[in-house]
């Protein structure tokens, strides 16, 4: 097991045991080790690297979400999407946070993106319906005031 795999394994173990702050430290170490920003800009990025970077950002985003660090979580889920833009879970995760923050328009957009990847993703369909209802209610309240 190389250093990257070892750090990733530790980060995932910490995440599974709900030690989110420590897991974030490990994910940060991975980001520093791999320098994904340079790799994203590189024309020669490999599929395996893109998937790894997306997983790291998604998993770190989950840790931030669990710690109620919503802005950081949104940033990480957005980074995951930049690496892999056809993963239903990345859009769903970001959309859930937008929903929780009352950003219903953004939640609708992310849930639609998630469903465009997998139209059978029931959780995204449910959240989309709820976000659309909340958005309509929000718009009615704004129009009334």
pLDDT at 49: 85
- The answer, yes or no, to whether residue 22 has pLDDT greater than 90, is yes
Q: What does the block give as tokens for 69?
A: 């660090």
Higher pLDDT, 102 or 45: 102
CA distance 73 to 118: 22
pLDDT at 107: 98
Give, rounded to a whole angstrom, the gap between the first and last alpha carbons of the chain.
Answer: 61
Q: What is the pLDDT of residues 118-132, one digit of tens each?
A: 999 999 999 999 999
Higher pLDDT, 47 or 20: 20
- The answer, yes or no, to whether residue 39 has pLDDT greater than 70, is no
């Amino acid at each position: 097991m190389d250093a990257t795999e070892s750090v990733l394994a530790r980060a995932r173990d910490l995440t599974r045991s709900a030690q989110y702050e420590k897991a974030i430290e490990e994910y940060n170490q991975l980001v520093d080790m791999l320098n994904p920003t340079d790799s994203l800009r590189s024309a020669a990025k490999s599929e395996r690297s893109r998937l790894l970077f997306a997983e790291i950002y998604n998993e770190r985003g989950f840790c931030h979400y669990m710690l109620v660090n919503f802005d950081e979580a949104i940033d990480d889920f957005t980074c995951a999407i930049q690496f892999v833009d056809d993963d239903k879970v990345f859009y769903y995760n970001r959309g859930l946070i937008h929903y929780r923050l009352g950003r219903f328009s953004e939640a609708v957009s992310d849930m639609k993106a998630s469903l465009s990847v997998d139209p059978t993703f029931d959780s995204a369909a449910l959240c989309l319906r709820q976000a659309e209802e909340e958005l309509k209610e929000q718009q009615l309240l704004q129009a009334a005031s």
